[in-house]
Each structure stands twice: as structure tokens, then as C-alpha cells.
Amino acid sequence: MHLTIRATGAGAGMLSHLLAKNPSNLYERMEKDSRVRIVFTASSEEEAEAVIYVTPDPVELVKGDSSAHNDITQYINDREFVVSSLFCTYIRSALGTALNGKTKEAYVPWVGRKLNLELALGPVASNLPDRTLTELFTALGYEVLLERGDADYAFDLKSRSSVRYIRLKGMQTLQTALRQLFVLIPALDDYKHYYISDDEVDKIRRYGEGWLEDHPQRGLILKRTLRFAGAIKQYEGWMTRDDKQIENRTPNIALAAGTAGAGFPVALGSDPSMETAEAPKVRLNDLRYAAIAEIVEGLVSRRRIVDFGSGEGKLSARLGSVPGVHEIKAVEPSASAQLRAMDRFAKMEGKSGVTVPEPVTGSLFYYDESLRGKDVMILCEVIEHIDEYRLGRVMDTIFHEYAPGTLIITTPNKEYNAVYEMDQEEMRHGDHRFEWSREAFAAWCSRWTPIYNYSAELKGIGEFDPNYGYPTQMAIFTKGEAL
């Protein structure tokens, strides 16, 4: 992970003074178990270039994380390579003088003077499309160039990669340029390694002063840096200096049922108690679990259930209370998630009328004979984490080999992202490989029904929008009579 700052033309020689670093010396420090280096590759009155390079310790990155205990996948990540909020944390101390504009008195006039700057950073792993990445910086007056690393592949992986290098060029003060990066880098990566507290809101306010309030993508930036409506409201309250509150962009969500175009449900009458300002927000994830449990409870055959991609076991635990369910296999490949699921299942032991789920280590890509012929199989928010070109193989295995009596699948509705004010090409999670519209999901479901003698019913989960439907779409596949 690196950041290169290059200044050319008038005032370029001030770069080292504004950074408070001797261009003849290598700056090297340990910061939070990571080695931070700053080296000047050029230093003259007309051209100066500083390279900030960070080498984290991959072991230290996961030390102290109890959730990663005995899970080798903890080491399989991109955190030691990509420019993210972690990178900003590592270099903040080294760049403190420039960020705060506290240079020596002789150089104070240069703090507010614009330089001809070129900034290069990367690699950046972002789920934002190229167009959005470009717009974030062009709005600040920069020329933007996005690059992908040089590599040869036997298939078109390079063009699908989310990893890019960013090069910026423009006239800007060094302090403002760095502050912009310290706000935008965490927004690009959308990964936070720290708790978002009042200090984080204050940091965004300080670093964003003079440019963020007028940025056309301010809403997106705040959503991806502060995440929570309360933190965003706190920031907006600071900016307006009064009691004005911004509208919470996360809609009230209520489960609805019925039928409308393309087999998706229409909204029924809402519960008045849900419309009051004091009513708590219901998480969409909880509504998914409730909807699935309701479907399962209405099935004639529901004794044996397989919950694929069960994660921390929340849905499996919920299904344990459904009458008539006697066996639940919670299948999950991640050891850390399974450990949390096992803790959850242990608390269910001894409770009357409750079926305790059985944790199973497994994957959709590895056939397990013990999962064959169950009454119900569930893939809750799973398929979008699989590359589309591999999905056919998975579905063939499910319908042909496992042949469950009922298959329940939920996945995001891409159209509904507009309600969340997301960019058209943005996805809800960094690990999503795709998100489908209602039409695309319906077409995909209809592909399997004639081949394997299943029927499919489509439903929606969440608050209905007349233009975009429901945030979550659900398919219920029911096995027909043997031919």
C-alpha cells in the first residue's frame, strides 16, 4: 500500500517542509505493528516527490480477534496490501504536520498556497464502478486516471477486478489534498476496522471543512464513511449549527405478501404502529428470517432442514422453534462463523420444544451425501456471493443430487438499491459478485423448473416501493410428483 505525492513547478521545493521531512533521509517508523516509510525520490525547487509506503504485519492484523480463532481463512484477505482506512491510520502520525498545517513559522504562508500536485495511490479494492470513482475526484477539480495492474490471464479476470490504482492531478494545497484523501479513501474501500464514534464524526467534519459540504456526492461519501443514520445526523447537525435533522435513508421495513407483476407480491395494509416516529426500525435481515420461518411453518413436509451458508447460525436457531422441525443441518465453510454458531446453539440446549441445529462444515461446491433428500433446503443471501458462471453447477447439484422437497432462495433486488440512494452499478456488499433485477431473477428461476420438475413461486420481503419492488426477492421451489 502506497501513496505518492509529487509537486512540480513553483513552490515544489516546499513539499519537504510542509511534510516536515528531510528529503535526504529515509523516514522509517513502526506504527501499530506496521512499518511506515517515507522516501523522497526527487527534491529540487522545481520538482519534489515523496513516496509513503506501508508494510503491515499480516499476523498482527488478526491477533486479538477472538472470532478468527483456529480459522486459517483469517489470513486470506487483502488488508495488508490495499489502501484503506487501515492505511490512513498507519500514516496519520507521519503526515500529522501537513494534515494540521502546523509547519515551522517560516513556511506557514505555503500551507494555504496551491501547488501543482500529482497524487498516486493504490491498490484500492473498491466495489464502486469506475465512473463513480472518477466523479468523486473530478468534483474536486482533479484530473483522474484509473489503472489496473499488468497481468495475463486465461480468462477475462482483469477487466472484472475491483482493484485499481488511482492517479490524480490538479492545483491544490497539500493540506486540503491530504484531508480529502483521508475522507475519501475509507469511502472507496467501504471497510472499517474501527468503531464509528463521535471522534470519527468530528474527524470527517474537520477534514471535510471547505469542500465536503458542497461535494455533489456528499450523501454517498457520508453513507460509506459514517454508515449509520445517527452519525450522519450528527455530522449534518454540526454543519447546519441548528436542530435540523436529515431524513433517515433507511426505510421502515414491513413484511408484505400478495401477488403482482412478475410473480412478486404487492403491499398489504401497513400496521399503524409501524408508522409512528417512535417505532423501532426492523432490520431487513430479521425480516428475511421471519419470512423464511413463516414459509417453513406452512409446509406440510418440514421435518428435516438444511441451511446452506448458515453463517453465525441466526436463521438456523430461528428455525429450531418452528413446530414440526426435528433436524436442522447448519452448513457453513467458515470456522470462525461456525464457532459463533456453536455458542448460539449451545444456549438452546435443554429448552422445551426446540430443535438444536447441528453445525456442519461444508460448501455448495462439495457434495455431501448426508444432505440428500431433505424436506427443506435454504440459501438465504448466498447465491450473490457466487460467480455467475459457477452458479449453474451449484444449482445442478442441488436439484439433481440433493433434490430437496422445497428449496428457498433469497437474494437482493438490484432495482431497490435506488431507494437507498446507491449508485446504479454499486452493490450492497463488497463480496457480492452480482445483484439481479426482478426480471433477471424471475428468468433465472424459470430456467430450472422444467429441467428438474420443480415449480417456483416468487415473493418479496421488506417495504414495497411502487417503482422498485421489494429490497429482497425470494423464490420457493417445490418439487413435483415423480415423472
- Predicted confidence (pLDDT) at residue 310 exceeds the cutoff of 80: yes
- Predicted confidence (pLDDT) at residue 372 exceeds the cutoff of 90: yes
Kindly list the structural domains of the chain, giving each domain's residue range(s) and its CATH number in brackets, ordered by start.
2-194 (3.30.1610.20), 195-249 (no CATH), 261-479 (3.40.50.150)
Confidence of residue 308 (pLDDT cuts 50, 70, 90): very high
**Residue with grid cell 418452528, as numbered in its chain:** 322
Closest CA to 372 of 349, 401, 394: 401
- Predicted confidence (pLDDT) at residue 30 exceeds the cutoff of 90: no
| Window from 23-32, 249-258, 393-402, 445-454 with minimum mean pLDDT | 249-258
| Residues 302-306: contacts with CB under 8 Å, at least 24 apart | 302/375, 302/376, 303/327, 303/375, 304/374, 304/375, 304/376, 305/329, 305/374, 305/375, 305/376, 305/377, 305/378, 306/331, 306/371, 306/374, 306/376, 306/377, 306/378, 306/402, 306/404
**pLDDT at res. 249:** 37
- Predicted confidence (pLDDT) at residue 22 exceeds the cutoff of 60: yes
Confidence of residue 72 (pLDDT cuts 50, 70, 90): very low
Q: Are 217 and 135 in contact (CB under 8 A)?
A: yes
Cell numbers that stand for 389 in this block: 458462471
State the chain's mean pLDDT as an integer. 82
Closest CA to 428 of 378, 384, 475, 390: 384
- Predicted confidence (pLDDT) at residue 260 exceeds the cutoff of 70: no
Burial class (CB within 10 angstroms; exposed 0-12, middle 13-18, buried 19+) of 5: buried
Q: What residues contact 273, with CB distance under 8 A and at least 6 apart?
A: 279
Confidence of residue 272 (pLDDT cuts 50, 70, 90): very low
Higher pLDDT, 381 or 281: 381
Confidence of residue 78 (pLDDT cuts 50, 70, 90): low
Higher pLDDT, 236 or 470: 470
- CA angle, 116 as apex, 110 and 118 as ends, to 5°? 120
Q: pLDDT per residue over 221-257, tens digit each?
A: 888 888 766 777 777 766 554 333 333 333 333 333 3
**pLDDT at res. 480:** 86
| Window from 1-10, 119-128, 143-152 with minimum mean pLDDT | 143-152
**Residue with grid cell 509537486, as numbered in its chain:** 7
Q: What residues contact 259, with CB distance under 8 A and at least 6 apart?
A: 265, 266
**Residue with grid cell 505555503, as numbered in its chain:** 110
Confidence of residue 274 (pLDDT cuts 50, 70, 90): very low
- Kindly provide the b/e burial profile for residues 403-424, where b requires at least 16 CB atoms within 10 angstroms of the residue's own CB: bbbbbbbbbbbbbbbebeebbe
- Predicted confidence (pLDDT) at residue 112 exceeds the cutoff of 70: yes
Burial class (CB within 10 angstroms; exposed 0-12, middle 13-18, buried 19+) of 44: exposed
The three-state secondary structure class of 344 is: helix
Interval 61-89 mean pLDDT:
59
Q: pLDDT per residue over 399-422, tens digit each?
A: 999 999 999 999 999 999 888 877
- Predicted confidence (pLDDT) at residue 431 exceeds the cutoff of 70: yes
The three-state secondary structure class of 38 is: strand
Q: How far apart are CA 442 and CA 256, in angstroms?
A: 19
How do beta strands 327-332 and 304-308 pair? parallel
Q: What pTM does this model have?
A: 0.51
Q: How far apart are CA 188 and CA 413, in angstroms?
A: 23
Q: How far apart are CA 266 and CA 463, in angstroms?
A: 10
- Predicted confidence (pLDDT) at residue 1 exceeds the cutoff of 80: no
- Predicted confidence (pLDDT) at residue 339 exceeds the cutoff of 70: yes
- CA angle, 293 as apex, 291 and 299 as ends, to 5°? 105
**pLDDT at res. 234:** 74
Confidence of residue 122 (pLDDT cuts 50, 70, 90): confident
Confidence of residue 262 (pLDDT cuts 50, 70, 90): very low
Confidence of residue 298 (pLDDT cuts 50, 70, 90): very high
Confidence of residue 150 (pLDDT cuts 50, 70, 90): low
Higher pLDDT, 129 or 406: 406
Q: pLDDT per residue over 183-233, tens digit each?
A: 998 888 766 555 566 777 888 888 999 999 889 998 888 888 887 667 777
> What Rg do the C-alpha atoms of the chain give, in angstroms?
26
| Residues 449-452: contacts with CB under 8 Å, at least 24 apart | 449/477, 451/399, 452/399, 452/400, 452/403
Confidence of residue 59 (pLDDT cuts 50, 70, 90): low
Higher pLDDT, 426 or 115: 115
- Predicted confidence (pLDDT) at residue 85 exceeds the cutoff of 70: yes
For residue 389, count other CB atoms closer than 10 A to its CB: 9
**pLDDT at res. 278:** 38
Burial class (CB within 10 angstroms; exposed 0-12, middle 13-18, buried 19+) of 384: buried
Q: How far apart are CA 73 and CA 463, in angstroms?
A: 36
User: Residue 131: enclosing H or E segment and its boundaries?
Assistant: helix 130-138
The three-state secondary structure class of 2 is: strand
